[in-house]
Structure 1
Amino acid sequence: MRNILIDIYKTNNLYSGLGQFSLNFAKAILERNPQDISIHLLYKQSAEFDLNADNFQFHKANTLRRFISNYPNKFDLWHSLHQFPSHLPPKNCKQILTIHDLNFLIEKNDIKKTKYRNRLQKNIRRADAITCISKFTKTMVEQNFDLGNKKIEVIYNGVEANFDQVLNKPAFLNGKKYFFSIGIFNFKKNFHSLIPVLNFFPETQLVLAGNHETAYGEFVKKEIKRHHLESRVHLLGKVSETEKLSLYANCEAFLFPSLAEGFGIPPIEAMMAGKPVFLSQETSLPEIGGKQAFYFESFEAEKMAELIQTKLKEVEKNPNFSKETKNYAQGFNWEKCISRYIALYQKMV
């Protein structure tokens, strides 16, 4: 039986996209329970998650082994779930490197861009196989890095959201209608573009979830004050899974004007609730949202509001919209994702 290690170190922060991806990846492969390979999971000791399985082995990461590959078990394959892995495999171990995005090319200054570019090039050179979570990311990698003879395989993320339970509208809204968005507060999320849009929807609130104790969070707060919308924009900070699902389930629409995404899990989560989803036309979002989402052609408040108003009227007239949206979102499931990875594992070992 072949031994395969999966680096789920990013589960140390379950409020991040990478943390959720790593946790759900582990859950999905544990549920699949492949019989012909032995799965080992590398995690940070401080990570808080519930993954109990007698037929899998867990390895606590430590600082020394982060820089010196010195693990007691011999692994035939090492899967790094992120392009900048926390730990590196031994030299004689095959490696799969999963690349999520190249957002550093947009977010970082020239010095840091060079640093991250060199680091990723080294990781690509070290890997035996590369996967990307979207065709957009694949194209970006091909345009910016030397792949040698390596081919990139695109495997879409799985997305999971259980809306079968009863999810009441959040009490703090007192029954008022609201738009919803979620994400870590950094400039690429472009949340501030949503603030003036509220001026065109006097009966609607805006709810933003995610850690707003950041420099960009302070900027958003200033924009809220500048538009005198303190009573109508709600910054919730980090929310629990149940709170998140409730916010999706009861919103009028999900607004996601992000400028840079490697995939875009929140739009698919919102679609799983059958909600209208409004996205930017940037990076991977048109690929992931497909024809089922609506797209901002401009970030001018009036034009954004016009699109939302027009499309919500169309949705109201379409009795099949919610069902069609849910069906589309079901295409991004963990069973399909894990099946592709297990096939790759088997091919490589």
Structure 2
Amino acid sequence: MFLINASNLHVGGGVQVAASFIAELAAFSDLPECLYIWASDEVDTNLKASEANLSNLVHYEVVNTYGPKILFSPVFKRLNDFDAVFTVFGPLYVSRLRGKSIIGFAQPWVIYPNNEIYGAMGFTRKWAMRLRRAVQKFFFSRADTYIVELEHVREGLRRQGVGVGKPVNVVRNCVSSIFFYEKLWKPVALPEKRADVNLGFVGRNYQHKNTQIFPEIVKQCRKNYGVEVSIFVTFTQKEWRSCSVEFRKSVLNVGPLSIAQCPAFYKSMDAVIFPSLLECFSATPLEAMIMGKPVLASDRAFNRDVCGDHAVFFDPLSAEDASTAIAEVFLDGSVNDDVLTQARRYAMNFSNPKSRAEQYLEILLGSL
């Protein structure tokens, strides 16, 4: 028996990737009867919003696990019923399974331990984070096989000594197929405030996402170019309440989006901004390109690997440089319809959900 485990995914892009993957499986006509699927509540919600035909998945079950707590859960014993377990994104906090453990790896803090974000942390938090990443690294190292989304991640795993001598498969991530079926899109309620330029950000308010730069970008656009900019984010209420007063005055929050709401959100924006400092992979730039929107992205290797020449890059530590990038798009006219058409074509050819699902399934079924 084989298990696809998405029970541990509750927030962020991992939920959308798992939902997209399982939705593709639901459309397959020849799935093996020995395939079991565990989806968290959040993954299940996204699947239902996408109208995936879950009845095609004979052994589909909603199961929720939460990090190391799995060790004290009845689910822990059930994991040993399977010959191979594919955890869509790890770590799986289990030291050893009876069967094979295949782990999807997307934890940049583990492969880039000397990143610049640690320098902005206080001593206690920094070492608490380092301890947490060390624990994650240990559990990642227990896997038998890894799946990563880009070459730089495979190189990072080897550099950090994770999974030495074990298979590391590169399966490119992609946008969900829902982006190509407008009838499945769900509306998004946006604040009424609109500006000269409306920028969207899709993601959680993690420190490495670098969203704290947004208020200063708004100021620099006004000061240097006389352009009023509104930035729309998708934070949870808890994340929004933790933001400073200045941040909440400058930025607008629409709340978390389901995967079915993302296309409508992008469509309502003039461009998408992605100032992240640390990633393995993010589908946000590709999703924006598919929706025909300019992409303003941090000048980092992970973004250049994904975007190629189809984004306007800026120094993510400089709000002034970000404002210059915005002016390049909306005042200088360097991004026109032809450029956006080329970007959309590039994003569509980057990868596709069906191919990704086939590769995932092949690795899982071929692991024995």
What is the TM-score of this pair, normalised by structure 2? Answer: 0.78
Structure 1 residues 10 and 119, CA gap change in structure 2 (3 angstroms): closer
> Structure 2 CA distance, aligned partners of 1:115 and 1:168?
36
Residues 190-201 of structure 1 mapped to structure 2, 5 A cutoff: 190-199=210-219, 200-201=221-222
> Structure 2 CA distance, aligned partners of 1:136 and 1:217?
35
Is 1:169–1:175's contact at 8 Å kept on the other side of the alignment?
no
Give the secondary structure class of the aligned counterpart of 1:307.
helix
> Structure 2 CA distance, aligned partners of 1:45 and 1:168?
21
The residue number in structure 2 matching 1:184 is 204
Q: Equivalent pairs: percent with the same residue?
A: 17
The residue number in structure 1 matching 2:19 is 23
The residue number in structure 1 matching 2:100 is 94
CA RMSD of aligned residues (A): 3.3
The residue number in structure 1 matching 2:5 is 7
Tell me if 1:120 matches 2:137. Answer: yes
The residue number in structure 2 matching 1:326 is 344
Structure 1 residues 286 and 237, CA gap change in structure 2 (3 angstroms): same
Is 1:179–1:251's contact at 8 Å kept on the other side of the alignment?
yes
Q: Deviations over 1:94-130 (max 9, x none)?
A: 2211101232645662354244324433432x32211
Give the secondary structure class of the aligned counterpart of 2:328.
helix
Aligned length: 336
Q: Deviations over 1:191-212 (max 9, x none)?
A: 1222222232433322122225
The residue number in structure 2 matching 1:53 is 55
- How far is 1:273 from its partner? 0.5
Structure 1 residues 46 and 336, CA gap change in structure 2 (3 angstroms): closer
Structure 1 residues 307 and 240, CA gap change in structure 2 (3 angstroms): same
Task: Decide which of 240, 245, 262 is 1:222's aligned counterpart.
Answer: 245
- How far is 1:241 from its partner? 4.6
The residue number in structure 1 matching 2:122 is none
- How far is 1:64 from its partner? 6.9
| Aligned AA (1:248) | Y
- How far is 1:88 from its partner? 7.3
Is 1:178–1:252's contact at 8 Å kept on the other side of the alignment?
yes
| Aligned AA (2:245) | K
What is the TM-score of this pair, normalised by structure 1? Answer: 0.82
Runs of 5+ consecutive residues of structure 2 not aligned to the other structure: 65-69, 119-124
> Structure 2 CA distance, aligned partners of 1:67 and 1:148?
31
Task: Decide which of 157, 170, 192 is 1:141's aligned counterpart.
Answer: 157
Task: Decide which of 226, 230, 248 is 1:205's aligned counterpart.
Answer: 230
| Aligned AA (2:322) | M
The residue number in structure 1 matching 2:318 is 300
Tell me if 1:256 matches 2:274. Answer: yes
The residue number in structure 1 matching 2:359 is 340
Is 1:66–1:88's contact at 8 Å kept on the other side of the alignment?
no
Runs of 5+ consecutive residues of structure 1 not aligned to the other structure: none
> Structure 2 CA distance, aligned partners of 1:257 and 1:307?
12
- How far is 1:293 from its partner? 1.4
| Aligned AA (1:345) | L
- How far is 1:53 from its partner? 2.3
Give the secondary structure class of the aligned counterpart of 1:344.
helix
The residue number in structure 2 matching 1:81 is 88
| Aligned AA (2:344) | K
> Structure 2 CA distance, aligned partners of 1:187 and 1:45?
25
Is 1:315–1:321's contact at 8 Å kept on the other side of the alignment?
no
- How far is 1:243 from its partner? 4.6
